Amino acid sequence: MKKILFFVLFITASITLLNISGCKPKNAGDATGSDAASRVFVQPGKYDELYNFVSGGFSGQVSVYGLPSGRLLRVIPVFSVDPEKAWGYSEETKPMLNTSHGEVPWDDQHHLDLSQTNGEIDGRWLFANANNTPRIARIDLKTFRTAEIIEIPNSAGNHSSPFITENTEYVVAGTRFSVPMDDQNGDVAIDTYKKNFKGTISFVSVAPKDGEMKLAFQLLLPGMNFDLSHSGKGPSSGWFFFSCYNSEQAHTLLEVNASKRDKDFILAVNWKKAEEYIKQGKGKKQSVRYAHNKLDEATHTATSVMETETTVLDVKDFPDIVYMIPCPKSPHGCDVDPTGEYIVGSGKLAALIPVFSFTKIQQAIASKTFDGDYEGIPVIKYEAALHGEVKKPGLGPLHTEFDGKGNGYTTFFISSEIVKWSLKDLKVLDRQPTYYSPGHLCIPGGDTKKPYGKYLIAYNKITKDRYLPTGPELAQSAQLFDISGDKMKLLADYPSIGEPHYAQAVPAELISKNSLKIFKLEDNKHPYVTMGEKNSKVVREGNKVHVYMTAIRSHFSPDNIEGVKLGDEVYFHLTNLEQDWDVPHGFGVKGNNNAELLVMPGETQTLKWVPDRVGMFPIYCTDFCSALHQEMSGYVRVSPKGSSVPIAFSLGKNSDALDSLLKK
């Protein structure tokens, strides 16, 4: 009987196995080659060679990986609230998510760009776009914290962003959805798109010293969809290139109606010229509202200011700042090679890759080799701008990066592969399958003048059978390739956070050398800082109770609080007195409809709590900070409204019973 059962099970198992392998697409799970393991193996205790900053897509955050190991180092909260780190929950960080619509607790984060000096990564800042409620964030790479977020007015779907110029003069933002301008009546019939909907491209300046962003000017353009962009460099510095689709100006069923024309456009913008016009005062001031949020490093506190003005240049009145270049089949990626001569447009539905020449574009402009105009913007003849086409590269090209050795690498969503091709003769040199359907790809420094060119990472939209199943929802996937030889070689897969789109990677040293280990307590300018335990106290101001609290291994001061009453708002201002690397303290309150605090050494953070009932509320440290971390706790007593229990606070003050016990 047992034997039969075993046999049945065996048969069932075999059939199941057969079924699984029968479903597998060809090549899936192929061995990566015998030395792949050693190429990605980073010994325990050893550091990775590169940082990889990966956009989080609909997670709204940015994740940081080590390469080549694919180890997740950190998730940086940017556009989405994060109760773990109290991002958007602490009193200090709430203003960071403020917008002209009020607090928006989420966004869709697609692209990242590292700050550059002379077209090379300088390791100072990382810029991130918010696609849903148009914003740009600046992350300080000293602290790995979001230091600034600026909202973009006259925009919707901030997709072609946050690409930067080669000396980080500007970070740009092109609107993916055209809309009526903010100072116009938006209450119009949708089918008046052609008349009432406009597109804008915003230039946000970046202060060279501290990185502070400022909306410098906006270009007013015909209504259509601006998708991606990259700045010129070297010979093409002073120019910016944007891919545009929906030149049909459709407003419904775009999958059909915005795919009608054979070619849409790459928009070439002479931003140096535009900048001159602005300096000459030729821009028009316009009333708008947009939030500008900054985190002050000295006070550990963010502020949000509502700005009210923008300067707009209508390109109709300045015909020598923008030109259109026809680009086949709904272009998506718009990438400029390290020399600055070649501009690659990737038509999502195309079966070829057009490569444009900056020299030829300039000649065409000089000789007016135009093919009419698009709503007043000169359209350069396709052939006049074209360096050449990569023929039969694959299906559905999306994005291209460069290795600095004269090669481009393009992702193909539909044919699910990466194709390496030569910039010089446009010949396909290699193709490797990806699992599956890659969107963006990243070569360290791959959009700068100086790519590092040893690895390539593909960010795949579909994961299917690559990992153990986790129900209907699967993590998306990154794949690391070695591109040091003639042929690309798959080294590793690793799952990612959210939906990764663009990413940046950089040799670790460039970032790690500036990385901050602690906040210096003596530099803490927080208005509610508690410098030392003896200064800890509880102060009542009307119905607000301010707790000036400290944390050090392994207690809070004070840890016994009485005199809080129903109807009070309690603010725990917690200062972490530690001055050692990697000793955070956490702070949680039972029943708090808020988050926890996670406070770094030398930092002060504030958690608001509105008690909902009379009773006893434990507080405790949430981060295992020492062998006696479990002892790092206390109590807050909440009395009824109108109770006469006075404010009282203490640390180490025992009851008489305990005292007599301790004396024995």
- Least distance from C-beta 346 to ligand K7E, angstroms? 9
Nearer to ligand K7E, 232 or 397 (CB): 397
Nearer to ligand CUA, 415 or 633 (CB): 633
Instruction: Report the partner that residue 629 touches, choosing among ligand K7E, ligand CUA, none (CB closer than 5 to 8 A by kind).
Output: ligand CUA
Nearer to ligand CUA, 546 or 629 (CB): 629
Q: Please give the single-letter amino acid code of residue 317.
A: D
Our finding on whether 577 is near ligand CUA (CB under 6 A) is no
Our finding on whether 307 is near ligand CUA (CB under 6 A) is no
- Least distance from C-beta 536 to ligand CUA, angstroms? 15
Instruction: Report the partner that residue 585 touches, choosing among ligand K7E, ligand CUA, none (CB closer than 5 to 8 A by kind).
Output: ligand CUA
Our finding on whether 632 is near ligand CUA (CB under 6 A) is yes
Nearer to ligand CUA, 85 or 585 (CB): 585
Q: Which two tokens stand for residue 534?
A: 């003896």
Contacts of 580 (CB under 8 A, 6+ apart): 518, 601
CB 199 within 8 A of CB 221: yes
Alpha-carbon distance of 464 to 416, in angstroms, equals: 13
Nearer to ligand K7E, 137 or 380 (CB): 137
Residue nearest to ligand K7E (CB): 439
Reported residue count of the chain is 664
Which of these ranges, 322-330, 468-476, 506-514, 620-628, lies near ligand CUA under the rule CB under 6 A?
620-628
Closest listed residue to residue 365, CA positions, set 412, 324, 401, 421: 324
Strands 263-270 and 239-245: antiparallel
The end-to-end CA distance of the chain, in Å, is 71
- Least distance from C-beta 560 to ligand CUA, angstroms? 17
Strands 560-565 and 633-639: parallel
Interacting residues toward ligand K7E by CB under 6 A: 110-111, 159, 228, 332, 398-399, 439-440, 501-502
- DSSP string over 554-608: TEEES-EEEEEETT-EEEEEEEE---STT--EEEEETT-SS--EEE-TT-EEEEE
Our finding on whether 625 is near ligand CUA (CB under 6 A) is yes
Alpha-carbon distance of 135 to 128, in angstroms, equals: 8
Of the candidates 149, 324, 621, 636, which one interacts with ligand CUA according to CB under 6 A?
621
- Least distance from C-beta 635 to ligand CUA, angstroms? 16
- Least distance from C-beta 332 to ligand K7E, angstroms? 6
List, in sequence order, every residue forming a beta bridge with 366; answer none if it has no partner: none
Nearer to ligand CUA, 217 or 587 (CB): 587
Our finding on whether 629 is near ligand CUA (CB under 6 A) is yes
- Least distance from C-beta 31 to ligand K7E, angstroms? 28
Question: How many other CB atoms are found less than 10 A from the CB of residue 217?
Answer: 22
Nearer to ligand K7E, 53 or 620 (CB): 53
Instruction: Report the partner that residue 94 touches, choosing among ligand CUA, ligand K7E, none (CB closer than 5 to 8 A by kind).
Output: none
Count Cβ neighbours within 10 Å for each residue of 167-191 and write b for 16 or more, e otherwise: bbbbbbbbbbbbbbbbeeeeeeeee
Q: Which two tokens stand for residue 510?
A: 């460039």
Nearer to ligand K7E, 329 or 332 (CB): 332
Closest listed residue to residue 432, CA positions, set 81, 39, 30: 30
- Least distance from C-beta 89 to ligand K7E, angstroms? 28
Our finding on whether 623 is near ligand CUA (CB under 6 A) is yes
Instruction: Report the partner that residue 632 touches, choosing among ligand K7E, ligand CUA, none (CB closer than 5 to 8 A by kind).
Output: ligand CUA
Nearer to ligand CUA, 441 or 619 (CB): 619
Specify the residue for token string 């201002």. Answer: 573
Count Cβ neighbours within 10 Å for each residue of 593-607 and write b for 16 or more, e otherwise: ebbbbbbbbbbbbbb
Closest listed residue to residue 162, CA positions, set 131, 136, 139, 132: 136
Binding site residues, ligand CUA, CB under 6 A: 551, 554, 585, 621, 623-625, 629, 632
